[in-house]
A and B are shown apart, each in its own frame.
Chain A
Amino acid sequence: MRPRSMLLFGRKGFMHKNIVAQFLIVIAVVGLCAGWSAYRYYSNYEETSFMYYETQIQKAGDAKKSGAPETRTVETLSAPDSPEMLDLAKGEKVLQIQKKKKVIKTRGLPINMGLDLKGGVHIVMEAIPRKGDTAPKAEEVEGVIKVMRARLDPQGVREVNIQKQGVQFISIDIPGEKDPEKVRESLGKVAKLEFLYSGDEYLEEGFEVPQEWREKQCDARARSNDRCVVIDGAGLKKASPGFSSGRPSVSFTLQKEAAERFYEFTRRHVSSEQTGRNHYLAIAIDGRIISCPSINSGIPNGSGEITGRFTREEVKNLVDWLNSGALPLEVRVAEMRAVSPTLGKDSLSKSFFAGLMGLGAVVIFMIGYYRLPGVVASIALLLYITIMFGAMSMINAVLTLPGIAGFVLSIGMAVDANVIIFERIKEELKLGKTLYAAVEAGFNRAFTAILDANVTTLIATAVLYGFGTGPIRGFAVTLSLGILASMFSAVMITRVIMLIIAKGSKNPNLSLYGFGLTQGNNA
């Protein structure tokens, strides 16, 4: 019996003849991966800067002595103007305080990192269908996505990833975002602006407008007991922050048609001091009154101002919301996962350390058990890691925390192919073959087992990729890349090195190959 891969492994196959060519292929692949990783590492860093204060403190008793005073330096984040902050000992004196700026360049791995390592917010919003619909309409969800993008990234400079997920879900990734609450608020708000006519009734701030008012469109001749919508956010052209009598306010301009309607309505409903009849215009966002001015004159040109008890931040948010438009549907949070950059970094360094320990254990075991082939396998393992870094960096795969676990796990599993092959080589040696023939036969015969075993694992990871989200997908990607790379490392790297060694040694010391060390099971 021979494996089907006769062309590759057969007597006259490529794998049999061209060891030099194969060696060059190995060098080329490993070199490419290493080079690419190095390139990414050096071209890809983040700069953060922060201010700190450097305080020189003269030590006690030195003040009057001649010569250079002995000093100590304290670095603090804030201006150190109180003694307890500097923790001054008795007699110590502050010599000098300097404000300094520190720039830290952080280099990560040469691989893109997921939100769980970099820190950031992953949020899934659920669009709630309108009354009467069982599921939200596709174009409405698209509208929601558009508005959300405008809110999160008004300038189009941030790295924000928004995707539709299923029928009613929208998944949003914001790397580096520290504040999940802010994201929740800015996404969850429908921000439907309405100018309502409330007749002669003044509405308190925070009043919830009844639904039937919001459903009725105002006629230009509305009576003072009518409650209806004059114009809504759809007629808005632009909103901008402003100031009105010393307080933050929102100025707006209306589109032409809405402006005409607005002018026509306000002109006909001017409060009159003579009759004492007031006409109020209630401004509501999401059905909640934010201010309720009385109409003192017709408002021409379609521009005006919303005043209320706003803080500057509120005005800014309001302006953003109004400009990006109202969400066509109501939404609520379906899933939110936020990781702070600090925890992310901590996870990264911990799992990096864990990976090193795992690698060390595997190397020690392999060399201890398989001797010379174990050394070869360990070299192949290091090259395997290089290939993994390069491959992940090249296909822009995202490394996640489970992904690192998958990577570390794949280190353990990557030697599996080597183990299968080495056990085979031992058996072939026992049959009395020469070292070279044993190595060749060992590889050839182990190949079907390795292929079948890895294809099934690939099936499992493919399913995982299809159904998983975020971190789990990262896991699936690293694991499947790991399987492919480990096959390459076993079938090409280990084999080529072993063949070269076998060819080079005329009288090989077989005990180096573990032969005779363990009594075979069927010896």
Chain B
Amino acid sequence: MSKEFTGWRDIIGKRNTWFAISLILVVGIGLGSLFVPPRGFNIGIDFTGGYIIQYPTSRQDITPDKVGDIIEKSGIKHQPVQITRDRMSQKITGFLVRTEGYDKDEQKLFEERMRDLKIRFRLEMTDLKAPVVEFKYVGAEVTREKIEQFLQKNFQGKYSIKTFEVENNPVREGEAASFNLQVGIKGADSAQAFTEAATALYKEFGGYEPSAESRTEEVSPVFSSVLFSNALKALIIAVIGILIYVWIRFEMWFAVAAIVALIHDCLFTIGAYSVFQLEINATFVAVILTVFGYSINDTIVIFDRIRENMRKDRKAPLAAVMNASLWETMARSINTVLTTQFTLLAIIFFGGVTIREFALGIFIGILTGAYSSIFIAAPLAYLFKSLRGETEPAQAQRPAARAKKKEKARTAEQASAQPQKAAPKADGASAKPSDAGKGAGKDSQAAAAAKKKSKKQRRR
């Protein structure tokens, strides 16, 4: 702390630069991306309603257009089709479809269309080399022999049909014995044959066809609005909870600065979601809250150091204390963000498709969280304090500072009402007094440093 911080090392002094950078990034890119294609936010079914279905397939000839054609035939509006691939071999492993939301009154119609679509997918896009219908029966009355007899009677000569038993499920307590049958069909129009045979079998014997999707998600329009309001509530409550805790443990202006930094992270992450077209869904709330958790954690480690250094040397000017604290914790800040990002990168590269976006969102959020703790939270706390005239702690200056304080209280309150927007402006307005304070501070800084050294030695 005995060192002067000038040039690029003077983080607090350069605060307007950081504020400007953040303003450009958050407002410029974030808002800009809303108007530049690809259009605005990619809001997921959790908040719009609709379906997501994911199918496994080993067919390599699948393209988004082919899948899209099939969806359009069913009269369903959809988002671009996503093809899932193996990370290593780049082989197609399946595809993922997301539909648009629908109106409250259309739910029944939509459900029926989806049922049609699922049958089409099963027939035309999945692994049915020879279409296979798998039936599950409960009870011992249906046997393979009976099925074969029936198929022979009705389809002999039309298609070549093959049946085989697949699995004898272990019978659980209290359940009837059940077994699966698979019917393979070969023929000229196997899709047609498949449907015919399946329908006939179903009519005669019952049973049902297990679904082929590896994942389905659907959310109704009513429920999506419930999810949305829950998400908003969660975010607001988390912010208030954190604000109160930081307020109790530190000072109000530190708490406000920390919260502004949090909002900064939140806005930046939202902007990144828009730029990269990541899906905003219920897990997005988890992403934001995790980023909150990380960012506030990071900020507090720095604030804790500032608090400690302020107590250690009550005479040092705040800017010097803050700069010193920031640099003392810099290695920690960088190392922690590195180790955290290593693990997130591992998930992004090796985790499955379902979790990749989640990890990517946290990755971006933590990056900005680490940045904002250093370059936004502390400088902002300094700004708030300087607006209140609390940056010069030397006892001699106290009365003068108090007089100034009253005069400035009004400006400060105005600034704090809308900290994000008003901060740089208010800073410009009050630049003179605080700059003057800094200049004076620099002179006293050296003296204070010398004093401090001796004091430190005394303490040990």
Give chain A's interface residues, CB within 8 Å of chain B.
1, 47-51, 77-79, 101, 116, 124, 126, 155-157, 166, 169, 178-182, 311-314, 316, 332-340, 342-343, 346-347, 350-351, 353-355, 357-359, 361-362, 365-366, 369, 401-402, 404-406, 408-409, 411-413, 415-416, 419-420, 423, 427, 431, 445, 448-449, 452-457, 459-464, 466-469, 471-472, 475-476, 479, 518, 521-522
Contacts and interface: CB of A to CB of B under 8 A. Distances in A.
- Provide the main secondary structure of the chain B interface: helix
Contacts of B308: 1, 445
- Provide the main secondary structure of the chain A interface: helix
A47 B283 CA distance: 33
Interface of B: 1-3, 54, 56, 107, 111, 115, 137-139, 141-142, 162, 164-168, 170, 172-175, 182, 202-208, 210-211, 213-220, 222-223, 226, 230-231, 233-234, 237-238, 241-242, 245-246, 249, 282-283, 285-286, 289-290, 292-294, 296-298, 300-301, 304-305, 308, 311-312, 324, 327-332, 335-336, 338-347, 349-352, 354-355, 358-359, 362, 460
Contact of A126 (B54, B174, B222, B330): B222
Contacts of B215: 337-340, 343
A464 B246 contact: no
A369 B352 contact: no
B330 A338 contact: no
A358 B350 CA distance: 10
Contact of B168 (A51, A78, A402, A404): A51
Contacts of B142: 312
A116 B216 CA distance: 11
B347 A413 contact: no
For the complex of A and B, 6 pairs with smallest distance between CB atoms? A313-B206, A78-B164, A358-B343, A358-B346, A412-B340, A155-B174
Contacts of B340: 409, 412-413, 416
A335 B218 contact: yes
Nearest to A346: B352
Nearest to B359: A405
| Chain A CB within 10 A, most for which of B111, B204, B205, B223 | B223
Contact of B346 (A313, A332, A354): A354
B349 A354 contact: yes
Contacts of B219: 334-335
Contacts of A411: 343
A250 to B, nearest CB: 14
Contacts, number: 303
B265 to A, nearest CB: 12
Contacts of A518: 331
Nearest to A420: B332
A358 B336 CA distance: 14
A347 B460 contact: no
B347 A408 contact: yes
Given A339-B215, A342-B56, A468-B282, A460 B223 contact: no
Contacts of A366: 339
| Chain A CB within 10 A, most for which of B1, B175, B220 | B220
Given A353-B350, A431-B460, A468 B286 contact: yes
Nearest to B342: A361
Contact of A181 (B211, B245, B293, B460): B211
A409 B170 contact: no
A18 B311 CA distance: 30
Nearest to A51: B168
Contacts of B204: 311
Nearest to B249: A452
Contacts of A471: 283
A522 B328 contact: yes
